[in-house]
């Protein structure tokens, strides 16, 4: 099978590429490194089934040829990360919307029947007061602090683009709302909490918990995320459906910090940082982010291979190996 992955040098996209290469598929990655990294795809460059092209998807000259070649398309490209979003919201809006429109227009003209997955986000659920979110729940956004919501709004608009092309052009598209993924190759440069905590704990530095730490998240190992994305795209789920991807177990950020201190045998303390100090603007966080996974289980019978402790222990080992062997 020929697999095209936009944003395939990113955190999730590169794991998705690795998964398909393990299945002996041919993988074509396009990425402009606005969020991805060359280090994520370096292990694939010697594989004859792997092709990479550096390009901005909004201006990609080879897009029609790539779409015609593909048997499956994953649209993973997006500017992500709270700090990145707050720093440059104009780039987030123009890139996230422009790339999706460009890609879906090409697909509709060249190969509308190709199975396409649009990667969306749990952020689109916004401030819905429910403790866990299903795909038909209302999406609730505050009227205040529009910059904070520009990423979620662009991803919701991406969903509408995908569903509009499905409706009007009979495109074969599935939308995945991805909840918090963690795992190898995730960096702390945009404030991702788990790699940040692990680095701080191993250095015996205070773990910086934003707010009071009572906010909860559901963390899924990225290797399970990639597997779930492949399985839902391969399933008989109908075109135009939306499906949650993630793990349905919650932990508070404070308890996460304590867990990482324990697993690293760290002497670190915990430092509570106000959102204004962390982000430079007033920031209202979402209290809970837990997915209802009925659709994922229904269409794939999905079984997780990783739990939170296994993943954290694996990441601690990888961080220690990288520290002890910096040239590797």
Catalytic residues, by residue number, are 151
Contact 139, 125 (CB under 8 A): yes
- Rounded Cα distance between 115 and 153, Å, is 25
**d(C-alpha 166, C-alpha 303), whole Å:** 29
E strands of 123-274, at which residues? Answer: 173-178, 181-182, 207-210, 216-217, 220-221, 242-245, 251-252, 270-273
Query: In this structure, what token pair is assigned to residue 314?
Result: 């694996």
d(CA 118, CA 96): 12
Q: What are the two backbone dihedrals, phi and then psi, of residue 146, each rounded to the nearest 5 degrees?
A: -65, -25
- Name residue, tokens 């040829």: 65
Six-digit token pair at 276?
Answer: 């204004």
CA distance 7 to 4: 10
* Mode of pairing for the β-strands spanning 220-221 and 270-273: unpaired
Strands (E) across 7-122 are located at 26-31, 50-54, 72-75, 115-121
């Amino acid at each position: 099978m020929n697999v095209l992955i936009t944003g395939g040098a990113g955190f999730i996209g590169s794991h998705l590429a690795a998964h398909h290469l393990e299945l002996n598929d041919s993988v074509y990655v396009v990425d402009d490194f606005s969020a991805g990294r060359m280090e994520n795809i370096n292990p694939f460059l010697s594989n004859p089934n792997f092709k990479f092209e550096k390009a901005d998807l909004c201006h990609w000259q080879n897009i029609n040829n790539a779409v015609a070649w593909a048997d499956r398309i994953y649209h993973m490209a997006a500017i992500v990360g709270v700090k990145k979003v707050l720093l440059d919201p104009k780039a987030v809006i123009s890139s996230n919307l422009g790339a999706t429109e460009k890609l879906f227009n090409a697909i509709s003209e060249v190969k509308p029947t190709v199975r396409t997955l649009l990667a969306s986000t749990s952020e689109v659920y916004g401030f819905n007061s429910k403790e866990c979110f299903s795909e038909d729940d209302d999406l609730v956004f505050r009227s205040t602090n529009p910059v904070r919501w520009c990423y979620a709004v662009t991803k919701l608009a991406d969903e509408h683009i995908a569903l509009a092309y499905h409706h009007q052009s009979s495109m074969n598209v599935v939308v995945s709302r991805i909840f918090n993924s963690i795992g190898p190759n995730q960096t702390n440069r945009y404030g991702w909490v788990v790699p940040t905590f692990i680095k701080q704990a191993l250095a015996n530095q205070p773990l910086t918990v934003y707010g009071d730490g009572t906010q909860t998240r559901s963390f899924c190992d990225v290797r399970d995320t990639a597997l779930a994305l492949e399985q839902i795209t391969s399933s008989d789920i109908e075109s135009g459906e939306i499906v949650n991807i993630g793990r349905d177990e919650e932990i508070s950020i404070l308890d996460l910090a304590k867990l990482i201190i324990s697993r690293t045998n760290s002497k670190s303390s915990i430092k509570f940082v106000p959102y204004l100090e962390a982000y430079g603007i007033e920031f209202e966080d979402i209290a809970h982010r837990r997915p209802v996974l009925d659709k994922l289980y229904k269409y794939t019978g999905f079984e997780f291979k990783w739990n939170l402790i296994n993943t954290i222990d694996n990441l601690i080992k990888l961080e220690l190996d990288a520290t002890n062997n910096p040239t590797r």
